[in-house]
Each structure stands twice: as structure tokens, then as C-alpha cells.
């Protein structure tokens, strides 16, 4: 499941129905957001196929940012079983992110 979120109700449903989910907050004027997006998607598709990935455009959905305490872009909320496991902002390492997700992912899906 990889798609764009347009309102808070839709995001709440995605969290409720996903055992594992990354919420990717971005904006179109953010160069790191644009360069990181395909790398995150590739990481999920290759290493964490059971994990969902949803995108939230911070410019179009400021109410969602406020509800989740997101004040900078890019920000990733890593959710397992409806709870926030970790939060990554600004300077992200793909290998570090993979390492951070691997253990809880294995626990949920093994």
C-alpha cells in the first residue's frame, strides 16, 4: 500500500488497518524531500514488502502536521501496530532507517 493521504480521517484509517506503516511528510519545495522519496519507496518495496507507505503533503494538509506534531520536512513517522515506533526528520540515512525498521518489522511479521 503506497498512496497519497488527503485528510486526517484517511490517515487514521491507514494507521488502524496497517500493522506497519511509514508516514512520509513532505512539501513540493523541499529538495531533500524529492530526492529521498524514491529511495524510501525502494527500501520499502525491497526490504519491507508488508509495510505500508503513505505520503502527506505538508503544504496542502497543515492540520495533519499539527495533529502529529510535525514541524519540518521531510519527516517520517514509523508506525507498528498503530503506535509510533520512531520519528526521523531532516537528515536521514537509508541504511540507518533500514536498521531501525528491521527488528520491529521482523517481530510483527515473523
Q: Quote the CA–CA distance of 23 and 4 in Å, as a whole number.
A: 10
Report pLDDT for 11: 96
Q: In this predicted structure, what is the pLDDT of residue 1?
A: 72
pLDDT at 18: 95
Condensed to tens digits (0 to 9), the pLDDT of residues 30-67 reads: 999 999 999 999 999 999 999 999 999 999 999 999 99
- For the chain, give the mean pLDDT: 94
Q: pTM value?
A: 0.94
Fold entry, domain 2-109: Glutaredoxin (3.40.30)
Question: Quick check: 92 pLDDT over 90?
Answer: no
pLDDT reported for residue 91: 83
Residue closest to 44 by CA, chosen among 91, 93, 101: 101
The domain limits of the chain are: 2-109
**Residue burial 19-30, b: 16+ Cβ < 10 Å; e: rest:** ebbbbbbbbeeb
Amino acid at each position: 500500500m503506497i498512496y497519497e493521504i488527503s485528510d486526517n480521517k484517511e490517515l487514521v484509517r491507514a494507521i488502524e488497518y496497517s500493522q506497519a506503516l511509514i508516514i512520509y511528510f513532505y512539501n513540493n519545495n523541499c529538495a531533500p524531500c524529492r530526492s529521498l522519496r524514491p529511495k524510501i519507496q525502494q527500501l520499502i518495496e525491497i526490504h519491507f514488502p508488508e509495510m505500508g507507505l503513505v505520503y502527506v503533503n505538508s503544504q496542502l494538509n497543515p492540520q495533519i502536521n499539527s495533529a502529529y506534531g510535525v514541524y519540518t520536512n521531510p519527516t517520517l513517522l514509523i508506525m507498528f501496530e498503530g503506535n509510533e515506533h520512531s520519528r526521523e526528520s531532516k537528515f536521514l540515512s537509508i541504511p540507518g532507517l533500514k536498521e531501525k525498521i528491521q527488528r520491529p518489522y521482523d517481530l510483527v511479521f515473523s
